[in-house]
Amino acid sequence: MKISFSAEDERFRDEVAGWLADNLRGEFESLRFRGGPGDEHSFPEERKTWERRLAEGGWTGVGWPGAVGGRGLSINQQVIFHEEYARAGGPGRMGHIGEGLAGPTLIAFGSEAQKARFLPGILAGTEYWCQGYSEPGAGSDLANVKTRAERVDGRWRINGQKVWTSLAHESDWCFVIARTEPGSVGHRGLSFLLVPMDQPGIQVRPIEQITGTCEFNEVFFDDAVTDADNIVGAPGDGWKIAMALLGFERGVSTLGQQMQFQNELDQVIAIARDNGQAQDPVMRQRIADAWIGLRIMRYNSLRMLSGPQDGSLSKAAMIYKLYWASWHRDLGKLAMDVLGPEAEILEGAPYDLTRLQSLYLFTRSDTIYGGTNEIQRNIIAERALEMPREPRLG
């Protein structure tokens, strides 16, 4: 057990920091600390341009294997990359669903032709992805998906509706869980399809969220089509692949996310020092507790990353989503409490939020998306602690 990085890794840290200092300026200066959850609506086009700059520098797909065009960094160097990226205020990645979810899924389950077709676009920052899982009747109960796909004339024809689809309006492709076996129920008969967004059969309608901005959408499939080849795995493999993908969500990029959290906490600390809340004994306890909680989040990740790297979630790692989501939500509240009455005052009308107000409101979703806190607790209790499973009706 060893917590320090090697001299070689520290040199790599300097290289990353140096590249970012040289490139994250000029036309990109205004993107620093922008984008990401709660701020996805900001500068989407400029951030796509930034993705291409990253690609030119070889900083996309840093954890993907070299054989598929990735940079093949060691775990330690991936950690360092994500930390330095967030430290420098690197903008929220427009390509994160492609790089973090679609890509790893294709690398693990895709055909050679699919990899050749889709991975280069993700790496180059020219093709963007969204995740079509949730539906009006299938939220926590994802296996209740009703969207159908059938084979007609050498293509898949898709009908149904997805909801809460983040960044669908900015995406070129969507990976869709659809029912391909008519009459099937539950997790059987589902398939994992890759569907182009720009077609007459697809309609994207933004949903206004608690922040007054729109990051997610309803997506309607009305005789939408995709090529017969655009299925990952075999028909009926959809559930298996969908679940494996959720495992990829808990990868190294969480370290970058934490550096973002650190930036937010630093802001809160700076305000507390400035407005005198730092003298209040109760506030001191809460701020220290937040600081401790974030450190522990990092140590947790380092433990997870030192374990098996096959995407399988070890039991101890199952707490991760519940932990960071709850911590981040509490940080949002702490930020408002430190601000006191100033927390109410908007940047401007009609509903122009400050970054911390946006943090406060947006973190209400952290405990909902990607598996709610309640679902996380079910998973921990049933899979890690082997307590009895929930009864399933109907």
Ligand X SMILES: Cc1cc2nc3c(=O)[nH]c(=O)nc-3n(C[C@H](O)[C@H](O)[C@H](O)COP(=O)(O)OP(=O)(O)OC[C@H]3O[C@@H](n4cnc5c(N)ncnc54)[C@H](O)[C@@H]3O)c2cc1C
Active site residues: 249
- Residue from 12, 133, 156, 221 touching ligand X (CB under 6 A): that is 133
DSSP alpha helix (H) spans, 276-371: 281-306, 320-339, 355-362
Q: Evaluate the CA torsion angle 329, 330, 335, 339 in order and state its sign.
A: positive
- Residue from 116, 295, 346, 347 touching other proteins (CB under 8 A): that is 295
**126 in contact with ligand X (CB under 6 A):** no
Q: What, of other proteins, ligand X, none, does residue 305 touch, CB below 5 to 8 Å by kind?
A: other proteins
Minimal distance, residue 142 CB to ligand X, in Å: 7
Phi/psi of residue 348, nearest 5 degrees: 180, 175
Minimal distance, residue 99 CB to ligand X, in Å: 15
- Residue from 305, 331, 339, 361 touching other proteins (CB under 8 A): that is 305
> Residue 218 corresponds to which tokens in the numbers above?
């309803």
Give dist(CA 252, CA 83) in Å, integer.
10
Among 203, 172, 186, 197, CA closest to 238: 186
Closer residue to ligand X in complex, CB, 159/378:
378
C-alpha distances out from residue 245 to 100, 173, 218, 224, 348, Å: 9, 16, 22, 24, 40
Give dist(CA 204, CA 128) in Å, integer.
15
**Interaction residues for other proteins, span 7-46 (CB under 8 A):** 9
**134 in contact with ligand X (CB under 6 A):** yes
Q: Write out the H or E segment, with its range, that includes residue 123.
A: helix 112-124
Q: Write out the H or E segment, with its range, that includes residue 227.
A: strand 216-227
**146 in contact with other proteins (CB under 8 A):** no
Q: Write out the H or E segment, with its range, that includes residue 222.
A: strand 216-227
* Per-residue interface string for the shown chain with ligand X, residues 353-372, x marking contact by CB under 6 A: ------------x--xxx-x
**164 in contact with ligand X (CB under 6 A):** yes
**166 in contact with ligand X (CB under 6 A):** yes
145 and 162 Cβ atoms separated by less than 8 Å: no
- Residue from 378, 379, 381, 382 touching ligand X (CB under 6 A): that is 378
- Residue from 76, 161, 165, 213 touching ligand X (CB under 6 A): that is 165
- Give contact residues for other proteins (rule: CB under 8 A): 1-6, 9, 76, 79, 269, 272-273, 278, 281, 284-285, 287-289, 291-292, 295-296, 299-300, 302-303, 305-307, 316, 319, 322-323, 374, 376-378, 380-382, 384-391
